[in-house]
């Protein structure tokens, strides 16, 4: 995916998300749609793999990546247990709570655990929400509690020369 295509996809996703001001956890019960160059769907294991310019959407959730793996719950096919997106970078956008702020996530790997309300992004990890920004080698974010754990390259790579984690907090923003 070229840089220009990624920027266009991001701009379009911001416009689409901006028109949908409320999302609820009920979005997780909506149909999932997707596009990619190739797909492997396994109804027996619930393991689904999408590769090549992948776009996934469900309600307010949108994912843009080179590869996306979706693991459905084997006892209840309507439940998604896990989503893993990989790209250079992968992009994830969602409005996790009703009347909540859009969250935008970037990273080489983005893992989403919908039932745990947890997002983990690694490799040039960036999260934007409500004008706030966090970046590091790894970010773990609880979308319900708002607790974010940011690790630097120094911590992950155990090296003094690695890049430190960074943050920007907007005054008066819901932090």
pLDDT at position 100, please?
A: 74
User: pLDDT (tens digit, 9 = 90+) per residue, 48-103?
Assistant: 999 999 999 988 899 999 999 999 888 887 788 999 999 999 999 988 766 678 89
Task: Classify 85 as helix, strand or coil.
Answer: strand
- Tokens standing for residue 102: 């859009």
User: pLDDT (tens digit, 9 = 90+) per residue, 10-61?
Assistant: 333 333 333 333 334 566 667 888 999 999 999 888 899 999 999 999 888 9
User: pLDDT (tens digit, 9 = 90+) per residue, 113-127?
Assistant: 988 989 999 999 999
- Tokens standing for residue 99: 């009347």
Instruction: Please choose, from the candidates 90, 78, 82, 92, the residue with its C-alpha nearest in 3D space to the C-alpha of residue 117.
Output: 82
pLDDT of 152 > 60? The answer is: yes
Beta strands in 43-175 (DSSP E): 47-58, 61-72, 80-94, 103-113, 118-129, 132-142, 148-151, 166-168
Domain boundaries, the chain: 3-168
Tell me what the mean pLDDT of segment 145-169 comes to: 88
146 confidence band (pLDDT: 50, 70, 90) = confident
pLDDT at position 173, please?
A: 55
Fold exhibited by the domain 3-168: lipopolysaccharide transport protein A fold (2.60.450)
* Residues 63, 119: Cα–Cα separation, whole Å: 13
* Residues 111, 167: Cα–Cα separation, whole Å: 21
DSSP state of 124: E
Given its phi and psi angles, is residue 123 left (phi above 0), alpha (psi -120 to 50 degrees) or beta? Answer: left
């Amino acid at each position: 995916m070229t840089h220009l295509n990624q920027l266009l996809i991001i701009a379009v996703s911001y416009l689409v998300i901006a028109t949908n001001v409320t999302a609820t956890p009920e979005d997780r019960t909506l149909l999932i749609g997707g596009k990619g160059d190739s797909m492997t769907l396994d109804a027996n294991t619930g393991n689904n793999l999408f590769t090549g310019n992948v776009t996934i959407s469900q309600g307010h959730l949108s994912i843009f990546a080179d590869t996306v793996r979706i693991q459905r719950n084997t006892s209840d096919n309507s439940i998604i247990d896990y989503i893993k997106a990989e790209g250079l970078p992968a992009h994830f956008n969602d409005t996790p709570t009703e009347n909540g702020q859009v969250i935008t996530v970037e990273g080489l790997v983005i893992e989403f655990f919908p039932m745990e309300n947890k997002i983990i992004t690694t490799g040039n990890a960036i999260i934007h929400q409500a004008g706030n920004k966090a970046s590091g080698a790894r970010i773990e974010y609880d979308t319900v509690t708002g607790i974010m754990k940011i690790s630097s390259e120094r911590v992950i790579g155990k090296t003094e020369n690695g890049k430190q984690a960074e943050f920007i907090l907007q005054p008066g923003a819901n932090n």
